[in-house]
Copies of this chain bind each other. A is one copy, B any other.
Amino acid sequence: MPRETRNAPPTIKQVAALARVSIKTVSRVINGAAYVSDAARRRVLRVIERLNYRPNALARGLVTRRSGSIGLVIADIVNPFFPPLVRGVEDAAAARGYNVILCDTDEDAARERAVISVLLEKQVDGLILCASRVPSGYLKGLADEGVPLVLVNRVLAHPRATAVVVDGVEGGRRATRHLLDLGHRRIAYLAGPAGSFSHRSRLRGDREALAARKIVFDPSLVAGGIASIAAGRQAMAELLDLKRPPSAVFAFDDLMAIGAIEEVRRRGRRVPEDVAIVGFDDIDLAAFVDPPLTTVAQPKTEMGRLAALRLLEMVEGSSPPRPRTMTLTPELVIRRSCGARSIPTIRAPGTPGPSRKEALT
């Protein structure tokens, strides 16, 4: 029997009345705690069933100071890097009875602050921040307030903040070293967003690998600044227009690497014969582009899972889990965009999963 407006949902009071018990008893059977006589419990359950009663989580949260929701802040769910990560946190959260409120920022610091603010008003029990672009001071302020906080791929020097990062420096080193091992000497870097912590560390790894081989870093071999296919294409174009174009490029992420491949081929040149390309992330697409992309894989789902697990430890436990920063080591996945001896079949996306290593902070 449909009615005109949203029906007033049944309350715990009505359930109690119909079951002829006190409110508290109903509360007890709902929360499973304490002892309730079997008879009473059965009556209550029957009424709950009949009324289709659902406890109001807002009311509950108001008193318990727990909303049962966590906030997940990412750059953009359409960026293929994020779905696996989101899924990882969702699954871990759901397993412990939490929901996730998802917010995209497009890497805009102002929007990030705004969504964090709203999330906090909604009384989320904690926050997972990916691709965070707000100043450290702001983040420390949150941590000082006592907001459980987990950062992904960014660290924060604060006793109450926690992070899950994959070692971007090492990833950059491995990428560039791979190119060096293949004989390349003019290796370009397709830069990610200037404000990005990941970008900085990958670039650092790149320079370290170069330095280790006594190759001087050439700043003219850096182009880009936005992580997208289009930007990768554009940056590659600039590089190709150089008097002495690079023979290889290490891209901030797979999206840029794919754009770079497109641009190289658009000009009638070949990958990897004319230009070798390494990406970063190992998004699903990477295995399917032509040629399949050699890339530094991040364990995305695992990162999400770990971030959620650590966050919930902070929420439910007392002190932040140790080590405060959990560092995972990324792995080079060799496919065909570099001309190295490649594995025979296309690697199924997400199969091997990079190794994991914890580092103290």
Contacts and interface: CB of A to CB of B under 8 A. Distances in A.
A90 B101 CA distance: 10
Given A87-B76, A159-B2, A54 B99 contact: no
A123 B56 contact: yes
Interface in A24-65: 52, 54-59, 61-62
A23 interface: no
Contacts of A9: 145
A148 B6 CA distance: 8
Interface in A98-113: 99-104
A69 B117 CA distance: 15
Q: Which of A78, A86, A318 has the most CB atoms of chain B within a 10 A radius of its CB? A: A78
Given A7-B146, A69-B101, A54 B121 contact: yes
Given A58-B123, A80-B284, A121-B56, A7 B145 contact: yes
Interface stretch (A162-170, A244-252, A285-293): A285-293
A282 to B, nearest CB: 14
A3 B146 contact: yes
A171 to B, nearest CB: 22
B122 A58 contact: yes
A158 B1 CA distance: 11
A90 B62 contact: no
A222 interface: no
Given A284-B285, A290-B290, A100 B99 contact: no
A52 B101 CA distance: 22
Nearest to A7: B146
A232 interface: no
Contacts of A101: 69, 99-102
Contacts of A148: 6
Contact of A103 (B99, B147, B158, B284): B99
A59 B62 contact: yes
A257 to B, nearest CB: 12
Contacts of A80: 80, 83, 284
A224 interface: no
Contacts of A240: none
Nearest to A315: B6
A121 B6 contact: no
Nearest to A62: B58
A221 interface: no
A21 interface: no
Contacts of A90: 77, 102-104
A13 to B, nearest CB: 14
Contacts of A121: 54-57
Contacts of A173: none
A67 B159 CA distance: 33
Nearest to A291: B290
Interface string A107-151: 000000000011111110000000000000000000111111000
Closest 5 CB pairs of A and B: A6-B146, A290-B290, A57-B121, A57-B122, A77-B83
